[in-house]
Amino acid sequence: MDREACELSRLMRRIAETPPEFLDEPCLGKKHGRVAVSAVVGDLCRGYGVEVPTRALEAFETGTVKADRNRLRVSLVLCWLLAEPWFREANIGQAPLLPLLLQGSRELAENVAADQFVRDPERREELARFALAHLGFRPHGETRAQAEDRLSSLSAAERARVLRASREAEERARAVREALARKAAEESADKATRE
């Protein structure tokens, strides 16, 4: 996040204007879907002068509808966002585009449906900030600390991690309470048998 990007509102508006085709059913195998995500990703990367090995593009064609549909749809929305003219002007050709589209889309898709990134203003902001951060940018007018803090507060993945940790801590506390109650009951029983 060392470089300053454009205004966040510009990217959020771009996401809000995502054409319906980018939320259409991704092709998975030969029998499902209408959008060849691998072709969209390949075109985007080539447009930035990044040659993507055919093997890497296969990750955008394979999987199951249940497990990979949302991930591929998030990849499509990211492709739409990354086609925004500001990114071309910023010369992001050497930025980690493929990791953002592969691992980044997987991380985002674990907690949020692709269409939520288009419809919900907070999810739009999360997506824009996530993409900028993974490409080494921060929104215009923000310090690195401000950008990191805001992304962390918006992140559905972070929220899910905190909820998981909270549930685990509560489970541990419950187990400790139960163990203490058993120990107290055993001590009480021992005391009663001695008297």
Q: Residue ranges of the chain with pLDDT lower than 70?
A: 156-169, 195
pLDDT of residue 158: 61
**Residue 185 tokens, joined:** 């009951």
Report how far residue 105's alpha carbon sits from residue 89's, in angstroms, rounded to the nearest whole number. 23
**Residue 17 tokens, joined:** 């204007």
pLDDT of residue 18: 97
95: region left, alpha or beta (phi > 0 left; psi from -120 to 50 alpha): beta
pLDDT of residue 156: 65
Q: How far is CA 59 from CA 42, 53, 63, 112, 135, in A?
A: 12, 11, 8, 20, 20
pTM: 0.79
Report how far residue 21's alpha carbon sits from residue 156's, in angstroms, rounded to the nearest whole number. 25
pLDDT of residue 161: 60
